[in-house]
């Protein structure tokens, strides 16, 4: 509509040139494309998404976005995950202080470059001790040392790690001065176990941030004419600070965009940019018997993740199958495409179908596939989609 209005304004204001200008060529292309796109947009999109609903208005397709803590197994709300993971790491100090301190270093500190620099420096300290166990100077680390202050002291969890592997804070006199300075000094007990120091160093170097896993919230629904309707909670529409700034920039560019004609390629590029603003997507798969399998995914996860999710729910998980988007596009498990790149955000309905060639081979062999598609334990949880 905006392009059509802009087209009308341009036709009123601008006289005809002797030869077709670039703007004339673009105008003619838009004239051809707008009717076709209007027809397609009214018929091809079946997985309709409404704006986020207020609580209590209508039943939501999913209550929200949830995560599972890898340390405790607890299911957490989106706004709980960081706090609860930190609590779980801190509680781990009572049972395994070395592992807890490593998790703290890699999780509490968000600057990954700073973490790597600090971890590599600690590993260098431990390498020196391992290579020169008889030299006392390598067993002492001056806390006021510039390198220690800039690379290690700033890391949460670093002090806990030194103490957990056998270092002790000690005041040592400064030669030729009447003052003392604080050092980390490796204990004799820790020095007597060089293999432990080497193991702790490798654990530190291979450490990763503890992240909550997205909870799929798998649900199974009976066949329903409402399969393509998605009432999503606000979690699916929340924007980060960075995304909010990007949205503001897009709004400021709206006036400029409306004042010019855009070809189909330009509009498709803009639509792709809109798709990238979503963090999560809710996907439903319609099975041959009409039942629906639903799960939550990251918008940037690959299509292979959906294939794995569906396969885990099948009674015959060894049989090959295909997934089709609502427009009829076949989603290949082998393609390295993300859901937002396929337009499957913030929600979508897909269709499941068995590989017909394999089914024919099974029938020719005199066998018969199970009539039940999903595993029995999932059928016990089947719900009515409302």
Q: Which of 213, 245, 267 is the last residue of a domain?
A: 213
pLDDT at 295: 97
| 199 & 284 share domain | no
Mean pLDDT of 352-358: 88
Same domain, 177 and 100: yes
Does position 40 have pLDDT exceeding 50, yes or no? no
Does residue 286 sit in the same domain as residue 206?
no
Confidence of residue 19 (pLDDT cuts 50, 70, 90): low
In a domain, 30, yes or no: no
| Residue 206 and residue 99 share a domain | yes
Predicted confidence (pLDDT) at residue 148 exceeds the cutoff of 90:
yes
339 domain residue, yes or no: yes
Q: Cα 148 from chain centroid? A: 34
User: How many Å apart are CA 93 and CA 99, to the nearest integer?
Assistant: 8
Residue 189 lies in a domain: yes
213-231 average pLDDT score = 95
N-to-C CA span, the chain: 34
Q: Count up the domains in the chain and report the number.
A: 2
Backbone angle region of 286, left / alpha / beta, with phi > 0 → left and psi within -120 to 50 → alpha: beta
User: Within this chain, do residues 202 and 280 fall inside the same structural domain, yes or no?
Assistant: no
Per the domain annotation, does 309 fall within a domain?
yes
Question: In terms of residue numbers, what domain contains 109?
Answer: 66-213
pLDDT band at 124 (very low <50, low <70, confident <90, very high): very high
How far is 271 from 257, CA to CA, in rounded Å?
Answer: 13
CATH number at residue 122: 1.20.58.2190
77 and 208 in a common domain: yes
Shared-domain flag, residues 89 and 174: yes
The C-alpha atoms of residue 139 and residue 50 are separated, in whole angstroms, by 64
pLDDT in tens, 307-346: 999 999 999 998 999 999 988 889 988 888 999 888 899 9
Predicted pLDDT at 372: 83
- The verdict on residue 219 lying in a domain is no
- Per-residue pLDDT band for 177 (boundaries 50, 70, 90) equals confident
The fraction of the chain above a pLDDT of 90, given in percent, is 59
- Domain annotation covers residue 32: no
pLDDT, one tens digit per residue, over 356-382 is 888 788 788 877 767 789 999 999 999
Is the domain of 208 the same as that of 309?
no
Q: What share of the chain is helix, strand, coil (3-state, %, to 5)?
A: 45, 15, 40
- Strands, sheet with 75-77, edge to edge from the N-terminal-most edge strand: 75-77, 66-68, 213-214
Confidence (pLDDT) at 213 = 96
Mark which of 169, 196, 213 sits at the end of a domain.
213
What's residue 371's pLDDT? 73
28 in a structural domain: no
Place of tokens 């490798």: 202
Domain boundary among 213, 238, 255: 213
What pLDDT, on a 0 to 100 scale, did the predictor assign at position 42? 44
- Find the CATH number of the domain harbouring 371: 3.10.20.90
As a whole number, mean pLDDT of residues 30-50 equals: 48
Mean pLDDT is lowest, of 16-20, 146-150, 183-187, for: 16-20
- The angle at the Cα of 274, spanning 269 to 278, to the nearest 5 degrees, equals 140
Looking at the predicted structure, is the pLDDT value of residue 114 above 50? yes
């Amino acid at each position: 509509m905006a392009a059509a209005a802009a087209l009308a304004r341009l036709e009123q204001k601008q006289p005809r040139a002797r030869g077709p200008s670039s703007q004339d060529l673009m105008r003619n292309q838009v004239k051809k494309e707008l009717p076709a796109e209007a027809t397609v947009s009214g018929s091809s999109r079946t997985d309709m998404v409404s704006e986020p609903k207020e609580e209590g208005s209508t039943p939501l397709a999913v209550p929200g976005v949830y995560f599972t803590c890898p340390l405790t197994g607890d299911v957490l709300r989106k706004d709980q995950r960081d706090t609860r993971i930190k609590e779980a790491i801190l509680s781990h100090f009572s049972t395994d202080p070395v592992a807890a301190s490593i998790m703290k270093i890699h999780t509490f500190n968000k600057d990954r470059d700073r973490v790597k620099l600090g971890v590599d420096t600690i590993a260098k300290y431990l390498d020196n001790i391992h290579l020169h166990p008889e030299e006392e100077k390598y067993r002492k680390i001056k806390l006021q040392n510039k390198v220690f202050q800039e690379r290690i002291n700033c890391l949460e969890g670093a002090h806990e790690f030194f103490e957990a592997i056998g270092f002790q804070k000690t005041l040592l006199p400064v030669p030729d001065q009447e003052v003392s300075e604080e050092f980390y000094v490796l204990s004799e007990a820790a020095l007597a176990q060089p293999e432990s120091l080497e193991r702790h160093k490798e654990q530190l170097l291979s450490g990763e941030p503890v992240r909550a896993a997205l909870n799929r919230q798998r649900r199974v629904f009976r066949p329903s004419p409402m399969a393509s309707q998605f009432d999503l909670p606000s979690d699916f529409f929340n924007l980060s600070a960075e995304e909010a700034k990007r949205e503001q920039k897009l709004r400021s560019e709206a006036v400029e965009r409306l004042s010019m004609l855009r070809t189909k390629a330009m509009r498709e590029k803009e639509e792709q940019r809109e798709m990238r603003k979503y963090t999560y997507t809710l996907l439903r798969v319609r099975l041959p018997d009409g039942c629906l399998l639903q799960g939550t995914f990251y918008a940037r996860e690959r299509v292979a993740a959906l294939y794995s999710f569906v396969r885990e729910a099948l009674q015959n998980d060894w049989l090959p199958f295909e997934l089709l988007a609502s427009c009829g596009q076949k989603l290949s498990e082998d393609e390295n495409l993300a859901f937002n790149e396929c337009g499957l955000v913030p929600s979508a309905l897909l269709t499941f179908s068995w590989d017909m060639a394999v089914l024919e081979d099974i029938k020719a062999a005199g066998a018969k596939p199970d009539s039940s598609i999903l595993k029995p334990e999932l059928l016990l949880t089947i719900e009515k989609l409302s």
